[in-house]
Amino acid sequence: MATNFSANQYENAFNPKRLANWELPHPYRERPRTYTGITEIIATDRGHLLGHVPRSGRNPWGNFTGTWDMPNKLPGPKYALPTTRTLHAQKKLHEEADRSHVVLSGQTKNDHRLRLKEVGEILDQFNN
């Protein structure tokens, strides 16, 4: 959403001198409103989380799902409507929706990291 403020130095150049329409211009604030509240610092200058910040036990980077983690195709909001779809197409759309829900909830990302950790532990046992 756009926000307009007066710049004062360019304001007079764009004011119309003779308009033939009967509209009144919207009055904008001269300065933006101040935001309320405070900003809570959760990391040090080096990017490490502070002690009071809750951490995830499964994934140290959180459950954020980036573009590369997402499935190739996300079903639309009306995938469950059976209108003019064969049973095979309905079943395929439901499977895609289930897969995308699992990916977007962050479950596969965490499971993948756990599997890597387990594989690393197994490799450590063989190396020792």
Residue with tokens 């699992």: 102
Position 58, amino acid = R
Q: Which of 62-66, 80-84, 86-90, 121-125 has the highest mean pLDDT?
A: 86-90
In this structure, of 8-17, 32-41, 108-117, the range with the lowest mean pLDDT score is 108-117
> Is 12 a residue whose pLDDT tops 60?
yes
* Alpha carbon distance 67, 41 (integer Å): 27
> Is 45 a residue whose pLDDT tops 90?
yes
* Alpha carbon distance 91, 85 (integer Å): 10
Mean pLDDT of the 6-31 span: 71
Higher pLDDT, 119 or 29: 29
Contact 69, 109 (CB under 8 A): yes
Contact 70, 104 (CB under 8 A): yes
